Every structure is written in structure tokens, then in C-alpha cells.
């Protein structure tokens, strides 16, 4: 597969390059080779990964820790453990701007009548606010076009909480690379595109914040500066696939510290029984409501019953619980 003719700048090994390749990390020595698009290979960092055995132990530890899983322990069979480096663009964007918005608020005051009795009177008022934006946002996103891969976004949240030690990929020696190497998913976005997206995302983040706390935005101007400290970060993401019954489930782990970041898991028989119980309970409450409909107050139990039945039903249909 060396038809492309590209060779590693450092060790001369053949590289697997496609027309979309921006940077090709040499599978033999770990050197980042710039192929196309805008990217400075000095700004590519890697978080060294744990090994497969450590990830397996982290998985077993999770099984022991989880009450539901522990009871299934003997029927759980690990099928596959797969580790990959996923590329993310990271940077900071400084924003300046101005916003005017309106928010409806309840205003109460005490009124005293001619008899000297006091009471509280409340009404809704439209309050107008004028604020200046002066923010510095830390942004991070997948450097891949499809972000649907399991665990990829969950890793970002964990990264921001528990920052790994990062090493410049260019300075990693061959031995160290051999110890930590995994398959590397392609970077599909170059630095220019990443910078553009960061600026757009930064403005969106601020706009959404004001949307959430106002009833109407009357004026919005927000200028993002050029992103700073922009780097491409390769983060190790491990997925453990395991069989229980006739289904395969998976757990994603962050590769630098073995934290479980996302999982699909089987429901235990007990949990399933509780949900099924919920359906019956819902129907019964609904039935009482329907029977008492002439009383006029029936709508409450009817709606509540339907709600419980719907909630429980959807859980059983799903068959798995998803934890993040």
C-alpha cells in the first residue's frame, strides 16, 4: 500500500496517505508528517495511553463497582478491547461585544389599604438590560467530520475536568511511541477550518447563554478574536465490547486515566421487573381516572397514569440504559 509514494521524513517508512490526509503519523516511529492543508506539526500533542491490560482492569473494576453489573459478573464475557487516538482541535477565543435584551420578571410589593391592612401585590414587568461582553472561552471539538463515534464527545467533558499530561508528538522518541502506539483516526479538518469553526462556535455559545436567560434579544454584537493556543490533541479512547445474553454492550474509557466516560448496559431482571411493574401501575391509575371521569377531577390521575405508563414503557422498549 505504498502506491502513494509518501515516506516518513524521520525514518523513511512508507506512509498510508489518501487525498484527504492532512497529517500522516508514521506507524513505525510516531513522527507527524505534514501532507496537505494548513497545520503546524509542532502544535500536535499526544496524551500517552494506558495499555490494554490496564483498560481491562478498569472495566472489571467498573463491573465490581456497579450493583447491577456485579450480579451479572459471571455471565459477562469481554469480546474485544479496542484503543484509538482521536484527534481534537483545542484553543481559546477572546470575545468582545455588546448585548441588549429584555426579560420578564415578577415584581411584588406590599400595599396598604385605607383600613390599614397590608397585602402583597405581584405583576409581571419587562426589564431591559444592556451588558458588555468580555469573555475568554476554551473550546474543543473533534477534528473529524462525523462525530457519531461512541464516546468521542464524552471524552471532551472528561478532558476539561481531568487534564492529561500532553507531549509534543514531534519530540516523542521511537521507543516511547512503540510503548503507547495505537491506531490513529484521521484528522479531517486543517487548522484554518478549525480556527473558523472556533470563532463561529464561540459566538454561538455566548448567544445561546443570552437566549437562555432572556425573553427577547434586542441587540447583539459579538466579535471573536483570532483563536489562541490552537493545537491538535490526540486523545486515547478505548472501547470495551462485552457480551451479555444475546447482545453486545460497550463501555468507553479515557485512555490516559482509565475513567469510564460512556456506556450502554444490560438491564438486570430486577430492574426490568420494576419497569414492567411501572407499566401496570400506570394503567391502573389511568383506569381509576377514566372511571371517575364524571367527577370532573379525573384528568389528573388519567394524565399521571398515562405518563407513568409511557415512561416505563419507553424504558423497557429501549432495553438498555445509557449512562454518561
Residue ranges in contact with Zn ion by CB under 5 A: 8, 10-11, 13, 26, 28-29, 31
- Paired with 89 in beta bridges are 141, 232
Q: Are 78 and 248 in contact (CB under 8 A)?
A: no
Minimum gap (Å) between residue 16 Cβ and Zn ion:
12
User: Which residue, 6 or 220, is less far from Zn ion as judged by CB?
Assistant: 6
Minimum gap (Å) between residue 25 Cβ and Zn ion:
9
User: Which residue, 29 or 261, is less far from Zn ion as judged by CB?
Assistant: 29
Minimum gap (Å) between residue 182 Cβ and Zn ion:
16
User: Which residue, 234 or 267, is less far from Zn ion as judged by CB?
Assistant: 234
Residue 11, classed as helix, strand or coil, is coil
How far apart are alpha carbons 265 and 318 in whole angstroms?
A: 11
H-helix or E-strand spanning residue 205: helix 191-213
Query: In the numeric block, which cell numbers belong to residue 68?
Result: 447491577
Minimum gap (Å) between residue 169 Cβ and Zn ion:
12
Query: In the numeric block, which cell numbers belong to residue 232?
Result: 491538535
User: Which residue, 170 or 250, is less far from Zn ion as judged by CB?
Assistant: 170
User: Which residue, 177 or 253, is less far from Zn ion as judged by CB?
Assistant: 177
Minimum gap (Å) between residue 142 Cβ and Zn ion:
25
Minimum gap (Å) between residue 174 Cβ and Zn ion:
8
Q: Return the sign of the alpha-carbon dihedral for residues 88, 94, 96, 101.
A: positive
User: Can you tell me which residue has the cell 390521575?
Assistant: 301
User: Can you tell me which residue has the cell 456506556?
Assistant: 263
How far apart are alpha carbons 291 and 284 in whole angstroms?
A: 11
Burial 21-46 (b: 16+ CB within 10 A, else e): bbbbbbebbbbbbbbebebebebbbb
User: Which residue, 23 or 202, is less far from Zn ion as judged by CB?
Assistant: 23
User: Which residue, 143 or 172, is less far from Zn ion as judged by CB?
Assistant: 172
Q: Are 150 and 260 in contact (CB under 8 A)?
A: no
Radius of gyration over every alpha carbon of the chain, rounded to an integer in angstroms:
28
| Three-state SS letters, 261-323 | EEEEEECCHHHHHHHHHHHHHHHHHHHHHHHCHHHCCCHHHHHHHHHHHHHHHHHHHHCEEEE
User: Which residue, 2 or 105, is less far from Zn ion as judged by CB?
Assistant: 2
Q: What angle do CA 244, 182, 139 make, to 5 degrees?
A: 95
The length of the chain is: 324
Amino acid at each position: 500500500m505504498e502506491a502513494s509514494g509518501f515516506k516518513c521524513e524521520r525514518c523513511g517508512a512508507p506512509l498510508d496517505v489518501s487525498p484527504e490526509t492532512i497529517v500522516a503519523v508514521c506507524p513505525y516511529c510516531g513522527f507527524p508528517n505534514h501532507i496537505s492543508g494548513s497545520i503546524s506539526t509542532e502544535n500536535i500533542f499526544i496524551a500517552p495511553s494506558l495499555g490494554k491490560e490496564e483498560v481491562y482492569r478498569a472495566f472489571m473494576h467498573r463491573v465490581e463497582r456497579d450493583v447491577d453489573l456485579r450480579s451479572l459478573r459471571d455471565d459477562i464475557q469481554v469480546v474485544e478491547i479496542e484503543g484509538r487516538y482521536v484527534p481534537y482541535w483545542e484553543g481559546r477565543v477572546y470575545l468582545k461585544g455588546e448585548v441588549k435584551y429584555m426579560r420578564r420578571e415578577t415584581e411584588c410589593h406590599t400595599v396598604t389599604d385605607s383600613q390599614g391592612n397590608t397585602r402583597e401585590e405581584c405583576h409581571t414587568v419587562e426589564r431591559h438590560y444592556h451588558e458588555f461582553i468580555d469573555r475568554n472561552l476554551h473550546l474543543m471539538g473533534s477534528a473529524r467530520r462525523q462525530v457519531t463515534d461512541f464516546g468521542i464527545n464524552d471524552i471532551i467533558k472528561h478532558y476539561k475536568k481531568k487534564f492529561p499530561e500532553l507531549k509534543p508528538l514531534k519530540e516523542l522518541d521511537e521507543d516511547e511511541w512503540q510503548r503507547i502506539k495505537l491506531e490513529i483516526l484521521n484528522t479531517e479538518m486543517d487548522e484554518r477550518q478549525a480556527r473558523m469553526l472556533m470563532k463561529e462556535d464561540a459566538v454561538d455559545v455566548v448567544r445561546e447563554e443570552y437566549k437562555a436567560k432572556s425573553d427577547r434579544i434586542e441587540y447583539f454584537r459579538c466579535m471573536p478574536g483570532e483563536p489562541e493556543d490552537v493545537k491538535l490533541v490526540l486523545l486515547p479512547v478505548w472501547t470495551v465490547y462485552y457480551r451479555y445474553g444475546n447482545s453486545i454492550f460497550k463501555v468507553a474509557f479515557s485512555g490516559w486515566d482509565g475513567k469510564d466516560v460512556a456506556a450502554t448496559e444490560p438491564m438486570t431482571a430486577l430492574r426490568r421487573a420494576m419497569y414492567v411493574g411501572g407499566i401496570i401501575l400506570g394503567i391502573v391509575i389511568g383506569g381509576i381516572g377514566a372511571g371517575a371521569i364524571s367527577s370532573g377531577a379525573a384528568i389528573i390521575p388519567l394524565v399521571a397514569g398515562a405518563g407513568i405508563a409511557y415512561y416505563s414503557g419507553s424504558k423497557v422498549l429501549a432495553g438498555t440504559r445509557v449512562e454518561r
